[in-house]
Amino acid sequence: MNRTTLATLASLAAAAFCAWQLGGRMGAGVLVGALTAAVFTGLGLAYLRHELAHRPRNALQALTVGFLVKLVVLGAGALALRFLPVLAERFDWRGYLVAFGAAAFLILIVGTAEILRDVKERRAT
């Protein structure tokens, strides 16, 4: 199991524990935020890994696209959870924002470090 997977599982476990402790709408918002961040951060890291393997000159573009996609998902999710009555009664948008930010940050730091280590090892061989 690689470090990115472990960081993802750890962030989801922490979010699940916090959601269980908070309960209700706030806990559901925390859980949805962490899950959404894990999915989109994982996709961004996969895109970065692909670009580094096939077109290394586009690595900065891949990082930028991943960041912008996460920013759009963060904003759209928060607005949906805040202003759509069906979602607002089930999920708290503030818990979503905090959990999304924390999970995305943890997974992105660990995943990027792992990708850079892989690139360094590949260049050495």
Q: Which two three-digit tokens encode residue 50?
A: 């692909």
CB atoms within 10 A of CB 82: 15
Of 11-15, 49-53, 85-89, 120-124, the least confident: 120-124
Q: Number of structural domains, the chain?
A: 1
Q: Which two three-digit tokens encode residue 45?
A: 């890291």
Portion of the chain with pLDDT greater than 70, in percent: 99
Structural domain of 12:
3-124
- Using one digit for the tens of pLDDT, what is the confidence trace for 26-37? 999 999 999 999
Angstrom distance (rounded) from CA 48 to CA 42 = 10
Residue 125: its pLDDT value, please? 78
Residue 34: its pLDDT value, please? 97
